[in-house]
Amino acid sequence: MRFGVVTLFPEWVEQVTSVGVLDKANRQGLISVTGFNPRDHATDNHRSVDERPFGGGPGMLMQISTTEAAIKDARSALPDAPVVYLSPQGRRLDQALVAELARLPELILLAGRYEGVDERLVDAEVDLEVSLGDYVLSGGELGAMVMIDAISRMVPGVLGDQASAEQDSFAAHWLDCPHYTKPVEYRENTVPEVLRSGHHGRIEAWRLRQSLERSWDRRPDLFERKRLDTTELSMINEHLSTLEKASTTRDGKDDEEPDY
Ligand code: 4G4
């Protein structure tokens, strides 16, 4: 998978392959990240890459000519790549979109600064607008790096064992179960017995139950579109009965203040 990033900070973005699994994947030739800088195409004495917006107001926009030239550079290097624009107006990134994009051989990410890119340049050059979530960043670079990380780990061979990738596809549907390591006793708390039982069937069932219960408690929205099989359904029903009992016996003290 080859990534091109149109950015005023190419050295920074390229650093995404300097550590961990992405460093290894880069060294193995499984992925590459190349920056394309609009400033390389600036012609005035100040090498400016920004421009004032029509209609006035505070803030600047990416200058069309230098941004377009950097996109052209990226397209010459990555001729088959669609162009993705990182912006708060985009389609929300999730694991399903990550998996879809990981099937491509090449991807160009457009990371805007200032107040973003002229809408006509977006219409002419951008295939897909993507958002990381409902918050504002100083630029699209961190979004581009998040996408490069998430997509790269879905590229065959990047993650050591195939089991990790399968874990991830499960994680796309449900929250992960809790994990434990040594020591067995830590700050008065003991590792759940079942995880030390060596009984693989019961361990898998426990992990599934934990995932479903945590998803139900913390992310009820995950149940809106997902169909449950009979095992999942009975686990959730049992959790509901447990919650029901707890709410009728408890004194209510523990729901006065959130403790995050
Ligand atoms: C494009 C338009 C993405 C790029 C406007 C980018 C948040 C996200 C930017 C802007 C970004 C996100 C000035 C807001 C750069 N911020 N949620 N900033 N802004 O994915």
**Ligand 1 center from residue 172 Cα (angstroms):** 24
* Residue nearest ligand 1's atom 17 by CA: 88
Domains of the chain: 2-152 (3.40.1280.10), 185-255 (1.10.1270.20)
Query: Using CA atoms in the order 94, 95, 97, 98, what is the torsion angle rounded to 10 degrees?
Result: 120
Residue with the bigger pLDDT between 130 and 169: it is 130
Is the whole-model pTM more than 0.85?
yes
The pLDDT assigned to 256 comes to 63
Q: Is 86 in the pocket of ligand 1 (CB under 6 A)?
A: yes
Give the Cα separation of 97 and 152 in Å (integer). 13
User: For 6-35, what is the mean pLDDT?
Assistant: 98
Tell me the pLDDT tens digit for each residue of 131-169. 999 999 999 999 999 999 999 999 999 998 766 766 666
Q: Is 112 in the pocket of ligand 1 (CB under 6 A)?
A: yes
Helix pair 200-218, 230-249: axis angle to 10 deg: 60
Residue with the bigger pLDDT between 139 and 255: it is 139
Active site residues: 88, 115, 153, 168
The pLDDT assigned to 119 comes to 98
Substitution candidate for ligand 1 out of 136, 142, 145, 146 with most atoms within 8 A of CB: 136
Check pLDDT > 80 for residue 178.
Answer: yes
Q: Is 87 in the pocket of ligand 1 (CB under 6 A)?
A: yes
In whole angstroms, what separates CA 4 from the centre of its chain? 18
Tell me the pLDDT tens digit for each residue of 27-58. 999 999 999 999 999 999 999 999 999 999 99
Check pLDDT > 90 for residue 188.
Answer: yes
The pLDDT assigned to 252 comes to 61
Q: Is 133 in the pocket of ligand 1 (CB under 6 A)?
A: yes
Check pLDDT > 90 for residue 257.
Answer: no
186 by DSSP, 3-state: which? strand
Q: Is 143 in the pocket of ligand 1 (CB under 6 A)?
A: yes
The pLDDT assigned to 165 comes to 62
Tell me the residue type at 208. Answer: L
The pLDDT assigned to 250 comes to 76
**Ligand 1 center from residue 134 Cα (angstroms):** 10
Tell me the pLDDT tens digit for each residue of 79-109. 999 999 999 999 999 999 999 999 999 999 9
